[in-house]
Structure 1
Amino acid sequence: MAIITLTSDLGLKDYYVASLKGAILSQTPNVKIVDITHEVPSFNFSKAAFIIKNCYKDFPQGTVHIIGVSAESSIDIPHIVVFERGHYFIGADNGMFSLIFDSPPEKIIELNINQDTDRITFPAKDVFVKAACHIIRGGTLEVIGKPKAELEVRTLFSAVSENNTIRGMASYIDHYGNIITNITETLFKSFGRGRKFGIFFRNTNYEINQITSSYNSVIEGERVAMFSSTGFIEIAVNKGNASKLFGIKENDIIRIEFYD
């Protein structure tokens, strides 16, 4: 079965998501629509990129992913379709796609789809849905756009290592209050070289000095650090809310000190 996924900052309070789905079903009645999330913070395409990056590979090849976050186009920010690893991604070329992929994608198409209305405030429905349904029906990308050489590139703050310390930050906090850092497992292992360590937060009274394999590796209510499925270090509390307990917000500093 053909699949279209939806990721947006539209929320669930208003009619927008229903309108989006109705437009899809009007053109491709037999498609399966999967909501990834509609709770991305408004206009925060970096969060949308993080979410898509960590789940799209679990969908079958041929899936079309509509990303309706900060979606309006301009001369400098066109609408595009990206084809990579058998998946199609539709959104605005605002730097988001460069955060999803670790290398240049196989194909980039700049869309030239005409809207049915002069109103340009809902491109996810008026442009992205048309492109997605065209792909689902077996249409080629070249019919709806022209090749684009490269993506708009954005970069995020990377963890740095020096003087026996890795300095990173809380890059994502999920609804459990678990903290995903921007410190990769690869950096931790290569820089740490098996040494003892301490993970410190804003409040230096809190420290974690071991990496465990699961939340239940510690007693309920105890703090824990592990290598997340995202490839980054995650800080959590077993059956608790680490963000609230430690007073950590996104972009707060996380520090790992190694001891010889």
Structure 2
Amino acid sequence: MLKASGIITMITDFGDRDYFVGAVKGVILSINPEAKIVDITHNIAPGNIQEAAFTLLNCYSRFPEGTVHYCVVDPGVGSERSPLLVFNQKYYFIAPDNGVVYPAVKGTNYWAIDIYDMGERYLSRRVSSSFDGRDIFAQAAALLSRECNLDSLGELSREINVFELPLPKFRDLNLVGEVIHIDRFGNVISNITRREIRRLAKPCILIKGFRIDKEYEYYGQAPVGVPFYIQGSAGYIEISMRGHRADRFLKAKVGDEISLSGEADG
């Protein structure tokens, strides 16, 4: 059995102005006062599964093995969708069965348990049909963080809903992708990787009518106020501007098309 680290991370769309996050943490600490809770973000756009999946994918593996990742962005709350415990050789994930965990566990030997199967032996009564994050997911995360025996929790399954982050595709001679994230600095993050850029001798990025062919290794190399591309920390190509927000300059938003053209290298 995977040894619990006592760490619980949190990714939610609960925001920071209401009581939601505090109520969830209160449940967790009532069950496991020794839990170490790490807030990754509570500012996912409401119901945005893609944003939550992207965030989880790019940070979960930085934590110690045995960490419980609580990722609750749940537009289907109160419906028949299942609350899941998903785990692989290194981590636990607590999330609704809406695909948000799939990009993180894809390619690993993962298993899932319907949290409802834990039943009254482990979970107290559900208080509300509109706050499973507190009444169901928080309890399950707390129990796992203090070494709960998985063998007694419920039937194991490989069946979870699949959600794939969008992948670039070839159209004619261009690789066509899209904007998958815009960070708080206004960097426009694509789903095109550095490997794909490196296949071309004279790469050029096209977005919103702009041609961008200047690449820099770090932001300080670039002139102020000119869009350029850079390999971001998540491994994707992103459009940036030194001293300005690239998203506002380009009028770019998530989902916008971004294409890569150039000459084949060699």
Normalising by the residue count of structure 2, what TM-score does the alignment of the two structures yield? Answer: 0.88
8 Å contact from structure 1 (residues 82, 108) kept in 2: yes
Give, in whole Å, the separation in 2 of the partners of 1:87 and 1:156: 21
Letter in 2 for 1:72: V
Aligned mate of 2:156, from 116, 138, 147: 147
Residue in structure 2 matched with residue 9 of structure 1 by the alignment: 13
Letter in 2 for 1:63: T
Aligned mate of 1:244, from 236, 242, 248: 248
Residue in structure 2 matched with residue 255 of structure 1 by the alignment: 259
Give, in whole Å, the separation in 2 of the partners of 1:28 and 1:150: 29
Letter in 1 for 2:174: T
Q: 1:254 to 1:92 in 2, by over 3 A?
A: same
Give, in whole Å, the separation in 2 of the partners of 1:93 and 1:164: 38
Letter in 2 for 1:196: K
Q: Secondary structure at the match of 2:160?
A: coil
Give, in whole Å, the separation in 1 of the partners of 2:181 and 2:71: 18
Give, in whole Å, the separation in 1 of the partners of 2:179 and 2:97: 25
In the alignment, is residue 89 of structure 1 matched against residue 93 of structure 2? yes
Q: 1:45 to 1:105 in 2, by over 3 A?
A: farther
Residue in structure 2 matched with residue 195 of structure 1 by the alignment: 201
Residue in structure 2 matched with residue 177 of structure 1 by the alignment: 186
Residue in structure 1 matched with residue 77 of structure 2 by the alignment: 72
- Greater Cα offset, 104-113 or 5-14: 104-113
Q: Secondary structure at the match of 1:250?
A: coil
Quick check: which one's strand share is greater?
1
Q: Secondary structure at the match of 2:190?
A: strand
Give, in whole Å, the separation in 2 of the partners of 1:145 and 1:124: 20
Structure 2 gaps, min length 5? none
8 Å contact from structure 1 (residues 164, 259) kept in 2: no
Residue in structure 1 matched with residue 145 of structure 2 by the alignment: 136
Root-mean-square deviation (CA), in Å? 1.9
Q: 1:214 to 1:176 in 2, by over 3 A?
A: same
Residue 117 (structure 1) shift: 3.2
Residue 104 (structure 1) shift: 4.5
Q: Deviations over 1:78-116 (max 9, x none)?
A: 111111341110011112222333314432222224441
Q: Secondary structure at the match of 1:121?
A: coil
Q: Deviations over 1:174-221 (max 9, x none)?
A: 1111111011223333xxx3321221111x2x3221332111121233
- Greater Cα offset, 84-93 or 48-57: 84-93
Q: 1:97 to 1:170 in 2, by over 3 A?
A: same
Letter in 2 for 1:96: V
Residue 73 (structure 1) shift: 5.8
8 Å contact from structure 1 (residues 81, 91) kept in 2: yes
Letter in 1 for 2:219: Y
Aligned mate of 2:113, from 109, 116, 123: 109
Q: Secondary structure at the match of 1:216?
A: helix
Letter in 2 for 1:141: L
- Greater Cα offset, 111-120 or 167-176: 111-120
Q: 1:18 to 1:124 in 2, by over 3 A?
A: same
Give, in whole Å, the separation in 2 of the partners of 1:194 and 1:149: 39
Q: Secondary structure at the match of 1:254?
A: strand
Q: Deviations over 1:42-84 (max 9, x none)?
A: 1111110100100111111111111111162644x21111113
Structure 1 gaps, min length 5? none
- Identity in percent: 31
Normalising by the residue count of structure 1, what TM-score does the alignment of the two structures yield? Answer: 0.90
Residue in structure 2 matched with residue 34 of structure 1 by the alignment: 38
- Greater Cα offset, 246-255 or 206-215: 206-215
Residue in structure 2 matched with residue 161 of structure 1 by the alignment: 170
Letter in 2 for 1:132: A
